[in-house]
Amino acid sequence: MIKRIKNADTVEHTWVGQTIEAGAYHTIDPLVELTWMNNSGLLTAIATGLAVVNNGTVDITEVSSAINYLKNFSSSISSTGNPIVEPGLYTGPLGSRGMSLVTPDLGDRTTWYQKSVQVTNEILADSGNGLTFTSTNPHWVNIYSLKLTYTYKQIPKRDGTFGKHADWAITVKVDNVAVTSGFTINYAAGTITFDSSKAGSTVTATYWHNNGITHPSEWLLVPLAGKKFIVEHCELQFSVGMQVNDSVRFEIWAGANLATYGAFPDYLFDAGYGQMRTEYRNANDMINAANLGQGTIAKFGNLTKEVIVMPFNYLQAFSLPSSLGCVFRIYLTQDIPYGDTDIATTTFYTQSVSE
């Protein structure tokens, strides 16, 4: 990945100890790429137009795109015009980022966000007491749930980009005026209950839900274009006493793209796009696939039960290159949430590396 810096000023400048004449280009040495990525003087110069990033062929004149290219970030732009970047610590090989990516909680449908759809300004029905108002859809997404452990700007979407909590925000209005307090939300039921009566008022809500969605539990791990995920370690975490109400499948797909996979039908899997399928039908299967065990973690904080940690029996890291259309897919076969659990997740400890 060639990266060059052009001095777009009429006088010479020195960035990262390198003097660049006016109008001249400097090719960044990959061995010191990280220093250039994070040099505040250079980033300021790019933002103010004194420096321009070049990809070896053309100048990247749009500031956000230029900084994203310099930092190996995605070029996705948020609704406010700011870049949504690929987060993570710089670890391992040069240019890579270490990330712990955690699935939604398979015991709580309100955390199943990836296939959710948005409803905007729906008029909610008064249940009859002026306090509780009901939507047409249960299973609202609670992106702020304590059962989701995503950090700011590190919520993986189905297309490989990352979002933030506000992307799934809920907005409540009373007579077209937004309100942020004085009510509670029942995400599972899709209802709002106010502290005081709103009888005669029009209550609306903008929300995300997974009601009526095929395989709402489905979660995809997709590398961005030009990237590959190297999964170094993977483990199950679930509460002691969890009820295994459904089989969970782990699949790897490759050879095409998300548009071709579509709904991931079995005929495409059998045609060769399905690379791996592992199904855990019960507790026995989970134990059999685990690499010994780590015992239990004592309950603390919001946990009411001890937590069992089971690492998968991977002898070496596996790679998911975007150039091969690789996708890691997880879902409950009948979309029946696990029961009696504080936590039921899988964590992938990954490196994101340029191909």
**Cβ neighbours of residue 73 closer than 8 Å, sequence gap 6 or more:** 67, 83, 85, 86
Confidence of residue 89 (pLDDT cuts 50, 70, 90): very low
Q: Write out pLDDT tens, residues 267-302.
A: 999 999 999 998 989 888 887 877 655 668 888 888
How far apart CA 268 and CA 248 sit, in angstroms, is 20
- Residue bearing the bigger pLDDT, 216 or 153: 216
Listed by start position, the domains of the chain span 4-71, 97-107+215-354, 109-209
Confidence of residue 248 (pLDDT cuts 50, 70, 90): very high
pLDDT for the residue numbered 308? 83
Confidence of residue 92 (pLDDT cuts 50, 70, 90): low
Confidence of residue 90 (pLDDT cuts 50, 70, 90): very low
Inform me whether the pLDDT recorded for 93 exceeds 80. Answer: no
What average pLDDT does the structure give for the chain?
Answer: 87
Q: What are φ and ψ of residue 195, in 5° steps? A: -75, -30
User: Quick one: tokens of 317?
Assistant: 């890291």
Inform me whether the pLDDT recorded for 206 exceeds 70. Answer: yes
Is residue 219 within 8 A of residue 105, CB to CB? The reply is no
